[in-house]
């Protein structure tokens, strides 16, 4: 399996800006906008993802609303496969299935079109997002993919906040790959 070289990791990590006390005191927000506007870092990232996933025999990339769309759509185009958006509830125009998940204080919901992966049962899908924290959204998204009859073969995250244990829960459902890990 292809993983980041130390040089690639350094380029990508250096392009991600930390913003202290956002969205609330005590939080260090990992800002990927500085990765996106850095042509070298974004190119290194996308080329790495292409190299890693070109041999996975994927049928689709699914991206989680909204930052997963940025990486997922670009990667799908590079791989010559389809892209499927997994959106917050109420944003998709056709018939959907949905999955609720717990937040710190309440619940949220995401959805996907019932025919998002076509008629192909067992379609191989990579789920991608920018960051995994507690894993609620990613777990719900992987569940939705599997409920359509497709198979979530792996989840990919640019950044993993390991101290929140989101990956551990998700690994019960599928393989997980994260490029940058914050302990």
Domains defined for the chain, CATH in brackets: 6-182 (3.40.50.2020)
CA gap 177, 150 in Å, rounded: 19
Shortest CA distance to 108 belongs to which of 129, 87, 93? 87
Tens-binned pLDDT, residue by residue, of the chain (183 aa)? 899 999 999 999 999 999 999 999 999 999 999 999 999 999 999 999 999 999 999 999 999 999 999 999 999 999 999 999 999 999 999 999 999 999 877 899 999 999 999 988 899 999 999 999 999 999 999 999 999 999 999 999 999 999 999 999 899 999 999 999 998
Q: Which residues are catalytic?
A: 67, 104
DSSP 162: G
Q: At what angle do helices 67-79 and 39-53 cross, to 10 degrees?
A: 60
CA gap 46, 55 in Å, rounded: 15
pTM (two decimals): 0.96
């Amino acid at each position: 399996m292809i993983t980041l070289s130390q040089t690639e990791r350094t380029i990508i990590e250096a392009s991600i800006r930390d913003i202290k006390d956002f969205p609330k005191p005590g939080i260090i927000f990992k800002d990927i906008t500085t990765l996106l506007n850095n042509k070298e870092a974004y190119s290194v990232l996308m080329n790495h993802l292409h190299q890693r996933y070109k041999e996975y025999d994927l049928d689709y990339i699914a991206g989680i609303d909204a930052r997963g769309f940025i990486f997922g759509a670009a990667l799908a185009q590079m791989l010559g496969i389809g892209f499927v958006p997994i959106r917050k509830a109420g944003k998709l125009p056709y018939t959907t299935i949905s999955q609720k998940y717990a937040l710190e204080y309440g619940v949220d919901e995401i959805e996907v079109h019932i025919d998002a992966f076509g008629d192909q049962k067992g379609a191989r899908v990579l789920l991608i997002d920018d960051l995994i924290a507690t894993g609620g959204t990613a777990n719900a998204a992987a569940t939705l993919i599997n409920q359509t009859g497709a198979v979530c073969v792996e989840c990919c995250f640019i950044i993993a906040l390991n101290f929140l244990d989101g990956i551990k829960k998700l690994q019960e459902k599928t393989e997980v790959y994260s490029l940058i890990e914050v302990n």
